[in-house]
């Protein structure tokens, strides 16, 4: 049997545990291909929440706790499988930032990623974590992307800067890769260098090649309004972005830009491009979340493992109320299964 997809439970105070349970209940065929990595107490509580809404509670599957990922193969078909990947959580405040929840979420990600890097899982799907809770727990990395980058670099025995990673957000009809991620806007502009931009395009281009696309069409968004309007609104588009695009074109890549950022996402959605390289976090995430929050997927590119996640956060406002939709999480599961079947990462 192939190694399973591993699922980190996310921040216990948020909607992560609930959407994991809902997703696996809605799609029974996924259960035999997935192991939840988290806390048994939290996940039993999430299962009880969802079971309380069911018309027939007798049809609810069991949550089986295994001692190792390998033991999952012996679990009866149809069960939810959990590996205790963090310390017992015990009581925790729901819908609030807490160090307890942040610590459990981080430990679950670290343990699950370690199993995938060791070959005992073939991909990782992460439920949402809360950045403030991670910080409260003393985690030095602001989110999944940075944490996984450091874990993978350490596993490979290389400096972190030798394992560059990028965030890709996708929804039906639009894929966006970001040059910079969780930094202040002022810092994001400073991070826009020829080296970093070229690296971003190469990482994204390679991902699509491995996924089976023969000639990905890459659109590079401009930084400034109207891509600088010939230098009237800033010179970064002329002096930084355009030379990188020309150099990659000379290598034979189907890369174009800088395109005006107010229209490039629309053009990609209409089929002109296969992906857009956005220059900073909100430039790329706003169109994706506007068009497809319910089925958006976050994929980390550049890692030696497949990692996807839903394109939303912990949603404290609706957590543990039985209202969270698993649609984006299901899309992330499908993406992980597709990527691990197509030769990615």
pLDDT above 70 as % of the chain? 98
Provide the b/e sequence for 80-102 (b: ≥16 CB within 10 Å): bbbbbbbeebeebeeeebbbbbb
pLDDT in tens, 127-159: 999 999 999 999 999 889 999 999 999 999 999
Higher pLDDT, 341 or 334: 334
Q: Is the pLDDT confidence value at 58 over 70?
A: no
Using 50, 70 and 90 to split pLDDT, how confident is the model at 250? very high
pLDDT for residue 345: 76
d(CA 300, CA 195) in angstroms, rounded, equals: 19
pLDDT for residue 128: 97
pLDDT in tens, 113-130: 999 999 999 999 999 999
pLDDT in tens, 156-213: 999 999 999 999 999 999 999 999 988 899 999 999 999 999 999 999 999 999 888 9
Other beta carbons within 10 angstroms of residue 26's beta carbon come to 12
Angle at 177 between CA 341 and CA 156, to 5 degrees: 60
* Distances 159 to 92, 165, 324 between C-alpha atoms, Å: 36, 13, 39
Using 50, 70 and 90 to split pLDDT, how confident is the model at 57? low
Higher pLDDT, 53 or 51: 51
pLDDT for residue 56: 55
10-29 mean pLDDT: 96
| Strand order across the beta sheet in which 123-126 lies | 63-66, 80-84, 34-38, 5-8, 123-126, 307-310, 297-301, 166-171, 174-178, 275-278, 218-221, 255-259
**Which residue, among 264, 178, 255, has the nearest Cα to 227 in the 3D structure?**
264
Query: Dihedrals φ, ψ of 6, to 5°?
Result: -100, 140
d(CA 322, CA 342) in angstroms, rounded, equals: 35
Q: Is the pLDDT confidence value at 59 over 90?
A: no
Q: Is the pLDDT confidence value at 337 over 90?
A: yes
**3-state class of 124 per DSSP?**
strand
Half-sphere exposure of 70 toward its Cβ, with a 13 Å CA cutoff?
Answer: 2
Using 50, 70 and 90 to split pLDDT, how confident is the model at 1? confident
Burial level of 74, CB count in 10 A (0-12/13-18/19+)? exposed
- Averaged confidence pLDDT in the chain: 94
Crossing angle of the two packed helices 16-26 and 327-341, in degrees rounded to 10 = 70
32 secondary structure, DSSP code: G
Domains of the chain listed by start with CATH number? 5-163+303-341 (3.40.718.10), 166-285 (3.40.718.10)
pLDDT for residue 344: 75
275-281 mean pLDDT: 97
Crossing angle of the two packed helices 16-26 and 40-51, in degrees rounded to 10 = 60
318 touches 15 (CB < 8 A):
yes
d(CA 159, CA 64) in angstroms, rounded, equals: 39
pLDDT for residue 48: 93
pLDDT above 90 as % of the chain? 89
Query: Dihedrals φ, ψ of 8, to 5°?
Result: -85, 140
Q: Is the pLDDT confidence value at 292 over 90?
A: no
Q: Is the pLDDT confidence value at 55 over 60?
A: no
């Amino acid at each position: 049997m192939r190694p399973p997809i591993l699922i980190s439970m996310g921040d216990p105070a948020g909607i992560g545990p609930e959407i994991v349970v809902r997703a696996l209940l809605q799609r029974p065929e996924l259960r035999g291909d997935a192991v939840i990595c988290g806390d048994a107490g939290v996940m039993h509580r999430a299962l009880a929440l969802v079971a309380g809404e069911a018309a027939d509670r007798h049809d609810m599957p069991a949550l089986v706790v295994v001692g190792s990922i390998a033991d999952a193969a012996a679990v009866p078909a149809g069960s939810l499988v959990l590996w205790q990947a963090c310390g017992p959580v015990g009581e925790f405040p729901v819908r609030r930032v807490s160090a307890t929840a942040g610590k459990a979420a981080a430990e679950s990600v670290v343990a699950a990623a370690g199993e995938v890097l060791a070959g005992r899982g073939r991909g990782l799907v992460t439920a949402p974590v809360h950045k403030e809770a991670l910080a409260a727990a003393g985690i030095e990395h602001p989110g999944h992307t940075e944490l996984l980058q450091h874990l993978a670099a350490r596993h490979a025995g290389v400096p972190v800067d030798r394992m560059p990673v990028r965030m890709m957000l996708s929804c039906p009809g639009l894929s966006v890769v970001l040059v910079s991620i969780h930094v202040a806007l002022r810092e994001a502009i400073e991070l826009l260098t020829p080296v970093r931009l070229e690296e971003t395009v190469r990482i994204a281009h390679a991902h699509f090649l491995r996924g089976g696309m023969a000639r990905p069409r890459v659109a590079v968004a401009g930084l400034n309004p109207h891509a600088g309007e010939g230098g009237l609104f800033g010179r970064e588009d002329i002096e930084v972005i355009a030379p990188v695009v020309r150099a990659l074109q000379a290598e034979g890549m189907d890369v174009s830009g800088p395109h005006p950022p107010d229209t490039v996402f629309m053009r990609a959605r209409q089929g002109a491009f296969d992906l857009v390289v956005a220059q900073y976090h909100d430039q790329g995430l706003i169109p994706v979340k506007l068009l497809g929050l319910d089925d958006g997927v976050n994929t980390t590119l550049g890692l030696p493992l497949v990692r996807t996640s839903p394109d939303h956060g912990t949603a404290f406002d609706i957590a543990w109320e039985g209202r969270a939709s698993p649609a984006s999480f299901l899309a992330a599961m499908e993406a992980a299964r597709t990527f691990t079947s197509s030769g990615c990462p």
